[in-house]
């Protein structure tokens, strides 16, 4: 059973915000002592679902997570807890523990859905300590990459030719595009 222990940390939703660079919604989990925070990037619909519940906004019709809570309750089950279990390849994983007839059933879930359900069910949210450590390591690697990119940009050859493409005639675009080499792009997908 998951408890606040050396392996898991009990957390709450500290808020929902937007990533300033990508404008992607983020749910921020925080521990009860306000010492640990865990940002999880989520979808817009899930952010809306969380925000409406946090703000106490009642919709005329049930949203998906309201419906899910109602189904769980109608079937005589309870949401016992949700657990953010893993961070793999920059993707968070979670589970929902449902109590049914004295037994616990664990369901795989996206963290955003699990957290939205937890908010509505008033159940505890736990995060594996390994997830918190992996997230910190990812943050450190991202910061190093940003610093390396800034350094590389400042070291670029000052004689590099740049073109003002706003003055290119429409009929010249075909020739420009034909001559492009993927290696010419600064940011690769």
113-143 pLDDT tens trace? 999 999 999 999 999 999 999 988 876 666 6
pLDDT at 84 > cutoff 80: yes
pLDDT at 187 > cutoff 50: no
Neighbours of 107 (CB within 10 A): 13
Q: How far is CA 182 from the centre of its chain?
A: 30
**Sequence-distant (≥ 6) Cβ neighbours of residue 132 within 8 angstroms:** 9, 36, 38
Instruction: With cut-offs at 50, 70 and 90, classify the pLDDT of residue 4.
Output: low
- How many CA atoms lie within 13 Å of 86's alpha carbon, on the beta-carbon side? 8
Q: Are 13 and 27 in contact (CB under 8 A)?
A: yes
Q: Are 12 and 29 in contact (CB under 8 A)?
A: yes
Q: Are 12 and 32 in contact (CB under 8 A)?
A: yes
Superfamily of domain 8-139: Bifunctional nuclease domain (3.10.690.10)
Q: How much is the average pLDDT of 70-77?
A: 95
Neighbours of 41 (CB within 10 A): 16
Q: Which of these, 182, 95, 87, lies nearest to 137 by C-alpha position? A: 87
Neighbours of 64 (CB within 10 A): 13
Q: Are 26 and 41 in contact (CB under 8 A)?
A: yes
Q: How far apart are CA 41 and CA 26, in angstroms?
A: 4
């Amino acid at each position: 059973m998951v408890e606040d222990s050396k392996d898991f940390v009990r957390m709450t939703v500290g808020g929902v915000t937007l990533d300033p660079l990508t404008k992607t919604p983020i749910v921020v989990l925080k521990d009860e002592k306000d010492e640990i925070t865990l940002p999880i990037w989520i979808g817009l619909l899930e952010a809306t679902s969380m925000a409406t519940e946090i703000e106490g906004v009642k919709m005329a019709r049930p949203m998906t997570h309201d419906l899910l809570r109602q189904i769980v309750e109608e079937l005589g089950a309870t949401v016992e807890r949700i657990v953010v279990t893993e961070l793999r390849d920059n993707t968070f994983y979670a589970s929902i523990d449902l109590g049914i007839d004295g037994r616990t059933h664990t369901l795989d879930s996206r963290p955003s859905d699990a957290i939205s359900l937890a908010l509505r069910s008033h159940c505890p949210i736990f995060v594996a300590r390994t997830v918190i450590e992996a997230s910190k390591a990812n943050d450190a690697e991202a910061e190093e990459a940003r610093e390396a990119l800034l350094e590389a940009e400042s070291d670029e050859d000052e004689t590099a030719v740049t073109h003002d493409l706003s003055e290119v005639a429409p009929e010249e675009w075909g020739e420009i595009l034909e001559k492009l080499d993927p290696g010419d792009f600064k940011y690769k997908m």
